[in-house]
Structure 1
Amino acid sequence: MEVISFLLLSLTFQTKTWRAPSSWNEWLTLPIKYCDLPASAQFAITVWDTSIGPRKVKPIGGTTLRLFGKQFTLRKGKHKLYLWPDCEADGNHETTTPSKLKHNDDNDMNKLEKLVKRYDCGDIRPVEWLDNLAFRQIEMIHKNASNVSNELALYIDLPKFDFPVVYGEMEYSLPGPFTSILHHGGQTTNELQSQIQQETPMITAMNQPIYPDNASLDTNNRDNFQNIHYSVVLDPDFLRDNPVEAKHRRLVRSHRNGPLDRDLKPNPKIRDELNSIMSYPPTQPLTPEEKDLVWKFRFYLTRDKRGLTKFLKCVLWTDPTEVRQAVDILPLWVDIDVDDALELLGKEFENRSVRTYAVDQLRKADDDDLLLYLLQLVQALKFERIDDKTEASYDSSLVQFLIERAINNPILGTYLYWYVMVECQDKKYGKMYAKVAFHFFGELLEIPDGYDRRDELRRQGQLIDELSKLSKNIRASKDGRMKKIDKLRSVIGDPKGPLHDFIPLSFPLDPTKQVSGLVPAKCGIFNSNLQPLRLVFKCADEQEYPVLFKTGDDLRQDQLVIQIISLMDKLLLKENLDLKLTPYKVLATGPEHGLMQFVQSSSLAAVLNEHQNNVRSFFKKHHPSSEPNNVYGIDPKVMETYTRSCAGYCVITYLLGVGDRHLDNLLLSPDGHLFHVDFGFILGRDPKPFPPPMKLCKEMIEAMGGADSQHYMNFQQYCYTAFITLRRNANLILNLFALMVDANIPDIKIEPDKAVMKVQEKFRLDLSEEAAIAHFRGLISESVNALFPQILETVHRWAQYWRR
């Protein structure tokens, strides 16, 4: 009597017993589903002899069969298993009782059995008359082989399927510790895990540490372990394409579908889905289903200017067929807006035809509009992949476009020159920008007055060099501030010096002005850590142009903020909303020096200190009014300017996340213009804890007449209108910030991948306009009632007092 026992996944069970002859024609159902089997699943089959006595068994033979064969395909059909005599199947991964013997592979009988198995599975086409002869001969060979052989064998049948069953999840053997970190008591486990993930990109660290055997598992001491090792395992499939998705994409986007797709029209439901996709912000990625939908209706979307960027994001740029179809459809698309053209010049789009198309759309912009985006367009050159090793020519439509417009417009040419010269000092892209500057000067010399314009740009550079040397010498001096001012004026007033009088040239900060020297008596030094110079230039029209020249400070962040404020001001003016903004000019002339326009004004802290915390008395002193309908005795235009400018800067500084707001960097002019300066902290960064959403102290509201006044009501309404207007232009602003991610802006450089999202979060594009207004109303209330900033403002005032 024999008994067969099975071991599968540590589940042991035995079959019925039977006597010779040893055959059993019944199906055995295993208590486990195919989907629950691991790739390493195997049968461990043992045949037992139970005839030797009661409760005594002896193994006749055992064998181990892996359920998954080559390419992780589930075995099926008939199988001949070799039984290892007098031993039990071990079921180990490296088994000593395998179901097949390597030396038997060349055996004629085994070859015939493999052919029979293929025939049984339907892999060999049946021919009845030939099959009868063949099987009769096979039976004879099998009988003769069985009489000669001493080997034990077990024949089993496994279920058959009409298609191969493949294991869907690959298993990989884990390597040894990939990264070993010495764990010190001052660093927590979570910090170590974060450090691993930062230092090894595209690598997943194990969530649990491997503690030493002698370590205590007390949670209070867990962070004090001296040696903790983490196993870091690479995911080999991380960057691989899914073959099923790739096949689906090729079928859906075949050239053969083109004629059919041209006439496709979406039904109302699909049209709503497409409109929803078109309204996505530029930062939102599309799902595979959304990409397929946009691709399917691409010809229908050619009439929607918002659809081009979404369509191009659906293209797999490594597939030549898709690229060819995408490029062919570009001329069919309706003209896109500037914000979409700027998006196509970002780092996501490297295709030359797409970038050329975007430049062609920018050609429609006039010089004034182009000046608003010039800073970002210069940064977009980093994504043009210009070969800095080629001296003969350049193949960039953006470079050609910028040089062409800069030559035709000297103002654009001046700004382009300075933007490029600052980037020439960048270690990574400096050579590329130097090549752009070389081509710019080469094209400039081809026009009639090109030599004069080149010489003027050269003299601008010499002027900045002289100012930089003077500023550094003044800062290095150990004299008192008054002696430094005397030294500054003496150097400037030297008739033989380069700064007193010179041939008129266009001023780098404002090329519309021609300057011919400095006014020594009106120059000075500001009382701050960097000691910026206050310089007054003489203009050719006999006017004066006051500026600040700073060294030791990177003004590129201030330059960006002022540029965005200028853009927002123009967007608001297009909607007939004049918020009396003061976007003074800023130009970074190098990584550590630059020029700023000086606007005659006083800090809000100084105004409150001089007028007993009453801003209205400051206005009344400079612009009194005795009109009968005037409540405060102030010119109504001044109060209106103050109210509008307060609203404008509250909205803008909130959207840009401007931090470090105190009453010394809020300036107020006698005609009512309030504006902000010193943008050293943006995108939500702030050196003070718990900053309010916007700077709106009680003194500012009291100047409007209090929270119940009509001016305050107007202020709120201006805020709501400005927020909604700028929110409608969010894509343009977001795309401008996206082009600045590699621009070495300090607060963007901290987290370049999150910079755009930080701005997008402030717009709350997920809300309707009514909900967005309600949200902003709450922000105003939160800013007005914030107590902690008032305490910090008091501390700041005392600190400034003792510093003086």
Structure 2
Amino acid sequence: MEPFSFASSDTLDYPVSIRIINLEGDEIPLPFSTLLARPDLRQIGSNQSPHSDLYVTVQVWAGSKPLTVPVQTAYKSFRTERKWNEWLKLPINYSTLPINSHLAITVWDLSPVGGPQAQGHAIPFGGATLPLFDKDNQLLKGRQKCHVHRHKKADGNDDTSTPAFPAAKRSNSKKEKAVVVDKDAEELDRMERLFKKHEQGEIPRVDWLDQMVFRGFEKRGIQSARSSLERIQRQRALEAQMAATKNGDSKEKSDTPDTTDPMPGPSMFLLNVELPRFDFPVVFADHEYPPPPISSLQHLSSSQSNIILKPPPEVQFGPGINGVADADEGRLIRVYDPEVGARDNPAESKHRRLVRSQHRHGILDKDLKPNAKVRDELNVIMSYSPTHVLTPEEKDLVWKFRYHLTRDKRALTKFVKSVNWQDLAESKQAVQVLGRWTDIDVDDALELLGPTFDNSEVRAYAVQRLGHSDDNELLLYLLQLVQALKYEHISTEANRDATQKSSLARFLIARAVDSFMLGNYFYWYLMVECEDSSPDQGRDNQTIYRKVAFDFMTELEKRPDGKETRKQLLRQAEWIAILSKISSEIKESNESMARRTERVKQFLADPKNELVTIDPPLPLPLDPSVSITGVAPEDTIVFKSSLHPIKVAFKTTTGRKYPILFKTGDDLRQDQLVIQIITLMDQLLQKENLDLKLSPYKILATSTNAGLSQFVPSASFQGIASKYRNNPALAYLKQNNPDASGPLGLRKETLDTFVKSCAGYCVITYILGVGDRHLDNLLLAPDGHFFHADFGFILGRDPKPFAPAMKLSKEMVDAMGGPQSEHYRQFKQYCFLAYSALRKSSNLILNLFSLMVDANIPDIKLEPDKAVLKVKERFALELNEEDAIRHLERIIDDNLNALVPVVIDKLHELVQAFRA
């Protein structure tokens, strides 16, 4: 089939319009004897003059009911013909029209004495009902000739008695065949149809020929108009003769005039109208209205939804309603019940209102003090994690002692959860209490910015607390704060300011324009979200981030050095685009690795690409504290993997080289999140005076399928094992850091760095549930820093069966001197200290993951409602500190003695050797 382009009517937000052109036709005037005998006919304007004043009304009907009020033409005085040539717009859009829509068009005459269907001094001259959609469900367009039913008002019904296109009547009567047929009229009708096709572009235009045809048509039309009255008179005489033959009393009939018939002669009036034309055919499509809300309750965070919300209601099929067995019988009846999604029992809600009404005004509550028993209950409530759901009794208790709890910074989030924000009086008082609360921690402020809390005052309070953080601390949470913009009240309308109602957007833009470090990362986080067009995000999210990015750029322009900052960000984007081009070409080529590497070197060395020399120096997007002056093509390497990442070394203003990895075809946002959490955990451990020598390299996703990562010189455990046979990790460290007098023949600092970094990464990867841990993903730097790479599987996901909860390989333990050595015992001690310290900050880490549930992270997107719970499970918050340490020790011992990880590592080694 040939392609057919069309538009659907539900997307056509344009008012229904029609142009009333003119009224054409003739009728035999009434005899003077009839007018003298009938005063009511004598007063009608059309009986006095063939060009009397008329006006037209148009009204939309559907389902035999009017949809709009009538719209009428302006007054116009006619001289030679009844011609309005006026467009009328009706107060309804095409997008809301049903399939059975009609235009009820009525031509009104004037008579001071009224008459049948009269409206004041107006009586119907004639009417026509014009359908808006044809038999093919396409919207009518262009010029239309509507048959005017004389002395009738257009009814607009579905089974109308005044159709604009009356159906041709079939007749077998031989006498009716004697009616005179006008050849000119037939030719004019044929020409009208051709003119309509010509106007719609179905007949090609030839200017000189078209002019000849138009002039000929005008002459034929004038000639037809002159003979129309004679034609009607001949037809009337023939009808009279046929009637006389039938009745046998033609003489009596012709001598006695009939004064009861107001129209003794036939009439044929046509109303010419024009409908709007569109570039494509418009096909009817019904407008789908969004389903009504199930309830007025606020949406909960994904971490709480699986606990609070009831499961979706099931449709129960009763007798006579088509279920599975009788799908072809009867009709399915769905009844909308707004209480289906209610999570509160109506009786419990009433009880809560009655209880809180005693403490609504807070006159007595301000001095209310809890006794020892209640104080213990409140302390238990304050110790709950962010994912814990308060019972109605606990909420009532927190509300009752809210003034007492204003001194406890932990209690604010519990208080906000206890407020019924749909109750205006209660919410107003809650906002007043917020102003009296003591300063809260950052983790609680982040929780208040999650999807659970919708009140703008609460979110503004959290933003105010974040304002006390310096740039370095804010940088640790910036990724989550950008995600929190999805839960702000930011309008998606084009003419609305993005930051008008969003305190968080205003805060982030204000801080980003004051600090280039924050502005750099803020810009790239926004750009990735603007580009993400996956179905999980939707256009509204893209619109929100584009508006925030626009406001950010606008605010930059207002600063003295803002234009230069914006120029640097645009140069970064151009630099990324150049690298993306060569990376995509290398990935898709089928050349050898040597040839690919040579091609990249030539590309980077080409002065046209402006990478050999970067002047002025440009801040590196991955690390804005480093300014690059050019690329070093000789240090370029293309790695042998499925995506062929490119290692590129850049010269910096300090004279050193900064190597990076650039990769296309992979979404690095999950790796970026894990590295950010590792960086945060390193900061938290150092605040506890526990430096575990972690080395979280930097990762920046520049789009949904490309990104940069810092290249750290190191060797994988797989590569080390293939080079050294006995105790490969220890042999590798001895080669780079020999010391005969040191422990195990190593420098003491190197072994200490190795033990600490192993402990830190073992605990962190266990908490985050990092999977797919084989020897190629375990890296060791020459100075003893151990670290992990490739975080494609987190939150307990692993492509291999029976994967261990913690990756502690035999090679790692042997490098410490074995499981009985003092260094291994020190390793376990570091693990216990790190686990205990991170459990103290579990609320902060859980809140960061809660803000990322809608970030389109692959392993979070699979089960967003369980992502936070999986991290919480690894913290074992239900245990006290001593039991939690015993729990971690069992995990370490189980993984050390497990046989399956060793077998998996051997299988992975064989597979990699086979691929090579």
Residues of 1 paired with 2:776 and 2:879: CA distance? 35
Matches within 5 A, 1:509-528: 509-528=622-641
Shift of 1:697: 1.4
2:682 is aligned to 569
1:145 is aligned to none
1:728 is aligned to 840
Residues of 2 paired with 1:671 and 1:206: CA distance? 68
1:703–1:233 Cα change, 3 Å = farther
User: Kindly, what percent of the aligned residue pairs are identical?
Assistant: 56
Residues of 1 paired with 2:743 and 2:718: CA distance? 25
Q: 2:799 aligns with which of 678, 683, 687?
A: 687
Shift of 1:277: 0.4
1:371 is aligned to 475
Verify: 1:471 aligned to 2:583, yes or no.
yes
Residues of 2 paired with 1:678 and 1:509: CA distance? 17
Residues of 2 paired with 1:666 and 1:789: CA distance? 14
Answer yes or no: is the 8 Å Cα contact 1:204–1:232 preserved in 2. Answer: no
Answer yes or no: is the 8 Å Cα contact 1:569–1:581 preserved in 2. Answer: yes
Residues of 1 paired with 2:360 and 2:889: CA distance? 55
Q: Give deviations 1:566-615, integer Å, cap 9, x for gaps.
A: 00000000011011111000000000000000000000111122111422
Shift of 1:479: 1.1
Q: Give deviations 1:121-146, integer Å, cap 9, x for gaps.
A: xxxxxxxxxxxxxxxxxxxxxxxxxx
Verify: 1:396 aligned to 2:509, yes or no.
no
Answer yes or no: is the 8 Å Cα contact 2:489–2:501 preserved in 1. Answer: no
Shift of 1:513: 0.6
Residues of 2 paired with 1:290 and 1:238: CA distance? 25
1:542 is aligned to 655
1:419 is aligned to 525
Q: How many equivalent residue pairs?
A: 589
Q: Give deviations 1:95-124, integer Å, cap 9, x for gaps.
A: xxxxxxxxxxxxxxxxxxxxxxxxxxxxxx
1:306 is aligned to 410
Answer yes or no: is the 8 Å Cα contact 1:604–1:664 preserved in 2. Answer: yes
1:256–1:792 Cα change, 3 Å = closer
1:54 is aligned to none
**Letter aligned with residue 425 of structure 1:** E
**Letter aligned with residue 402 of structure 1:** L
**Letter aligned with residue 202 of structure 1:** P
Shift of 1:557: 0.1
2:370 is aligned to 266
Verify: 1:409 aligned to 2:515, yes or no.
yes
1:774–1:231 Cα change, 3 Å = farther
1:607 is aligned to 720
Shift of 1:399: 0.8
Q: Give deviations 1:234-274, integer Å, cap 9, x for gaps.
A: 98743345443333322332365411111111111111110
1:645 is aligned to 757
Matches within 5 A, 1:75-114: none
1:278 is aligned to 382
2:883 is aligned to 771
Q: Give deviations 1:307-327, integer Å, cap 9, x for gaps.
A: 000010011111101110110
Verify: 1:250 aligned to 2:353, yes or no.
yes
Residues of 2 paired with 1:206 and 1:781: CA distance? 52
1:202 is aligned to 312
Shift of 1:481: 0.9
Residues of 2 paired with 1:599 and 1:306: CA distance? 40
Residues of 2 paired with 1:703 and 1:231: CA distance? 71
Q: Give deviations 1:281-336, integer Å, cap 9, x for gaps.
A: 00011001111111111111100000000010011111101110110101110000
TM-score if structure 2 supplies the norm length? 0.62
Where in structure 1 are there 5+ consecutive unaligned residues? 1-199, 216-229
Residues of 2 paired with 1:248 and 1:495: CA distance? 77
1:236–1:387 Cα change, 3 Å = closer
1:696 is aligned to 808
**Letter aligned with residue 204 of structure 1:** E
Secondary structure, counterpart of 1:400 in structure 2? helix
1:529 is aligned to 642
1:356 is aligned to 460
**Letter aligned with residue 245 of structure 1:** E
1:159 is aligned to none
Secondary structure, counterpart of 1:460 in structure 2? helix
Q: 1:674 aligns with which of 786, 789, 800?
A: 786
TM-score if structure 1 supplies the norm length? 0.71
Q: 1:707 aligns with which of 777, 800, 819?
A: 819
Residues of 2 paired with 1:591 and 1:561: CA distance? 16
Q: 2:767 aligns with which of 643, 655, 667?
A: 655
**Letter aligned with residue 874 of structure 2:** K
Answer yes or no: is the 8 Å Cα contact 2:675–2:696 preserved in 1. Answer: yes
Residues of 1 paired with 2:693 and 2:450: CA distance? 32
Shift of 1:484: 0.6
Residues of 1 paired with 2:496 and 2:764: CA distance? 45
Residues of 2 paired with 1:613 and 1:485: CA distance? 34
Matches within 5 A, 1:36-75: none
Deviating more after overlay: 730-739 vs 468-477: 468-477
Shift of 1:477: 1.5
| Greater RCO, CA 8 A, separation 6+ | 2
Secondary structure, counterpart of 2:658 in structure 1? strand
Residues of 1 paired with 2:524 and 2:487: CA distance? 19
Residues of 1 paired with 2:596 and 2:412: CA distance? 59
Answer yes or no: is the 8 Å Cα contact 2:846–2:868 preserved in 1. Answer: yes
Moved over 4 A (4+): 230-237
Q: Give deviations 1:353-395, integer Å, cap 9, x for gaps.
A: 1110000000111111000000000000000020021535322
Matches within 5 A, 1:151-300: 202-204=312-314, 237-240=339-342, 241-254=344-357, 256-300=360-404
Deviating more after overlay: 386-395 vs 341-350: 386-395
Shift of 1:470: 0.8
Shift of 1:204: 3.3
Deviating more after overlay: 251-260 vs 479-488: 251-260
1:499 is aligned to 611
**Letter aligned with residue 537 of structure 1:** F
Deviating more after overlay: 704-713 vs 238-247: 238-247
Q: Give deviations 1:448-471, integer Å, cap 9, x for gaps.
A: 111111100000000001111110
Verify: 1:753 aligned to 2:865, yes or no.
yes
Secondary structure, counterpart of 1:499 in structure 2? coil
Residues of 2 paired with 1:661 and 1:246: CA distance? 50
1:617 is aligned to 731
Residues of 2 paired with 1:742 and 1:438: CA distance? 22
Residues of 2 paired with 1:426 and 1:598: CA distance? 26
Where in structure 2 are there 5+ consecutive unaligned residues? 1-309, 326-331
**Letter aligned with residue 763 of structure 1:** F
**Letter aligned with residue 281 of structure 1:** S
Secondary structure, counterpart of 1:514 in structure 2? strand
Residues of 2 paired with 1:486 and 1:532: CA distance? 14
**Letter aligned with residue 315 of structure 1:** V
Secondary structure, counterpart of 2:843 in structure 1? helix
1:342 is aligned to 446
Answer yes or no: is the 8 Å Cα contact 2:716–2:780 preserved in 1. Answer: yes
1:256–1:675 Cα change, 3 Å = closer
Q: 2:747 aligns with which of 628, 635, 645?
A: 635
Verify: 1:626 aligned to 2:728, yes or no.
no
1:206–1:785 Cα change, 3 Å = farther
2:899 is aligned to 787
**Letter aligned with residue 807 of structure 2:** K
1:249–1:619 Cα change, 3 Å = same
